Amino acid sequence: MNRSEGAGGTSAAEWARRDAAAVWHGFTQMAVYEDSTPVIVERGEGNYVYDTDGRRYLDAISSLWVITLGHADADLNRAARGQLDRISHSTLLGNGNTAAITLAEALREVVPVDGARCLFASDGAAAVEQAVKIAFQYWHNQDVTDRTAYLALGHAYHGDSVGSLSVGDGGFGTDLFDPLRFPVIRTPGYDDGDWAAKAVAAVDRHHRRLAAVVIEPLVQGAAGMLVTDPEAVAAFAATVQARGVPLICDEVATGFGRTGALFASELCGIRPDLMCLGKGITGGYLPLSATVAASHVYEAFLGEDLGPRTFYHGHSYSGNALACAVATRHLELISERGLIDAARRAAGRLGAALEAVEALPAVKEVRRRGLMTGIELDPPPGASKWGRKVCAAAVRAGVLLRPLGDVVVVMPPLSITDDEIETIGRTLVSAITEVAGGEAGA
Ligand SMILES: *Cc1c(COP(=O)(O)O)cnc(C)c1O
């Protein structure tokens, strides 16, 4: 139904061949890539992407959790073009640019961090890496050199650089990198109803050697959308901060409206000492991330010029003007278009649309907070790759999905419409029913 066929029909296969011959895709086995009927996207419009044959797909994963307002938004395009004519990039090392300053000022107004200071980077992993190093040096700058441990949660995902991988809990075939990881005190993730009490006990025991605690507030995304209550996060955060240990909130996935607030930390009523932003920060347009530091953290780095208190860390594209201009306009548009309220309403409708999915015998559980949704399938013993197969069936029906193991992730843009939510629900019911081999259709 979502076909508007281009001439020929071989062009997608030809692009896939060229792709497989030249590009190396992350988290992808390239030996089978070409045969896996990848969607080769040529353009996007609103909540849809279009492949090289002109086939249309509803982007139900926001292009891996980054798109917020839809693709090729006219207002964001205008902001990008406007900045393009001024300047695309100039370095933030030792100098400034107006686009980065404007964005830092705008973020400071909305981020739940006291006296927020932004250190920009380009990827979520780099924002976490910066936070981990800032926390380490924060103590060092106060002549405390024995706080070298971090506490992080089971199933945590914080990115793929070595430092962010270390605070993460592995999985996804990354265990071979274990010898490169620094040791972390690990307490259970959100799938344990007692995670907060157990994490509090660990902080009580180890706080004197902790440089920082890292959490994904409210939702552990890459873990398969494990969710917890705001009260549990608040109680844990209170213990951490009462002990004087910096709390790092990784909001790379939860930020910018996904959970039904601009930031999940707001829903929890917490104010982290360090906060990591990425993914949706530019509406999914350009690679940009930020580590936001509270003033007491930032001030620990003030000292003499070229002195030891300086944070000796930086990235070439830090504060990229093009990305910052788009991010600033994106924040304005979220407010102008009332997108947080819209996302909250859409989340309610998504919950209703997924009731039929949850009722399927092949579904173990639907976990959701705002628009962040994980549908855990319940494959019988011996069944393989259900997550993959369900998503492939959905893609064939024109809804772009990608699983995490046997969890089908649904994370639509904040701009998702009621009809599109219905389409996602209906398509999932058919796809799951098809794969589970039950009666056809729904
Ligand atoms: C995606 C993600 C990251 C890593 O961001 P990249 O931009 O992919 O490096 C870090 N933390 C969380 C919670 C994420 O979901």
Q: How far apart are CA 349 and CA 418, in angstroms?
A: 7
- For residue 343, the CA-to-ligand 1 centroid distance in Å is 21
- For residue 252, the CA-to-ligand 1 centroid distance in Å is 5
**pLDDT digits over 372-427, tens only?**
999 999 999 999 999 999 999 999 999 999 999 999 999 999 999 999 999 999 99
Mean pLDDT of 170-187: 93
Q: Are 202 and 151 in contact (CB under 8 A)?
A: yes
- For residue 218, the CA-to-ligand 1 centroid distance in Å is 15
- Indicate if the pLDDT at residue 6 is higher than 90: no
**pLDDT digits over 17-68, tens only?**
999 999 999 999 999 999 999 999 999 999 999 999 999 999 999 999 999 9
Mean pLDDT of 264-281: 98
- Indicate if the pLDDT at residue 5 is higher than 60: no
Note the pLDDT of residue 173: 87
- For residue 177, the CA-to-ligand 1 centroid distance in Å is 18
Long-range residue pairs from 146-150, CB within 8 A, at least 24 positions apart, any chain: 146/208, 146/209, 147/208, 147/209, 147/210, 147/211, 148/209, 148/211, 149/183, 149/184, 149/185, 149/206, 149/209, 149/210, 149/211, 150/182, 150/184, 150/185, 150/210, 150/211, 150/212, 150/213, 150/214
- For residue 14, the CA-to-ligand 1 centroid distance in Å is 32
Q: How far apart are CA 87 and CA 113, in angstroms?
A: 30
- CB-based pocket (< 6 A), ligand 1: 123-125, 128, 157-159, 216, 221-222, 250, 252-253, 278-279
Note the pLDDT of residue 9: 52
- Indicate if the pLDDT at residue 94 is higher than 50: yes
Q: Which of 158, 190, 371 to mutate to test the pocket of ligand 1 (most atoms within 8 A of CB)?
A: 158
How distant, in Å, are the alpha carbons of 325, 374, 413 from that of 262?
Answer: 19, 20, 13
Q: What is the pTM of this model?
A: 0.96
Residue whose CA is at the smallest distance from ligand 1 atom 5: 124
**pLDDT digits over 205-250, tens only?**
999 999 999 999 999 999 999 999 999 999 999 999 999 999 999 9
- Indicate if the pLDDT at residue 439 is higher than 50: no
Note the pLDDT of residue 212: 98
Least confident of 11-15, 241-245, 328-332: 11-15
Helix (H, G, I), strand (E, B) or coil at 14: helix
Cα dihedral sign for 206, 212, 214, 218? positive
Q: Which of 64, 252, 285 to mutate to test the pocket of ligand 1 (most atoms within 8 A of CB)?
A: 252
Mean pLDDT of 117-121: 98
* Size of the chain, expressed as the number of residues it contains: 442
Q: Which of 122, 132, 157 to mutate to test the pocket of ligand 1 (most atoms within 8 A of CB)?
A: 157
- Tell me the Cα Rg of the chain: 22
Q: Are 184 and 136 in contact (CB under 8 A)?
A: no
Q: Which of 164, 279, 286 to mutate to test the pocket of ligand 1 (most atoms within 8 A of CB)?
A: 279
Mean pLDDT of 168-195: 95
- Indicate if the pLDDT at residue 2 is higher than 50: no
Neighbours of 51 (CB within 10 A): 19
Sort residue 214 into left (φ over 0), alpha (ψ -120 to 50) or beta.
beta
- Indicate if the pLDDT at residue 172 is higher than 90: no
- For residue 195, the CA-to-ligand 1 centroid distance in Å is 22
Share of the chain above pLDDT 90, in %: 94
* Average pLDDT for the chain: 95
Phi first, then psi: give them for residue 227, nearest 5 degrees: -120, 155
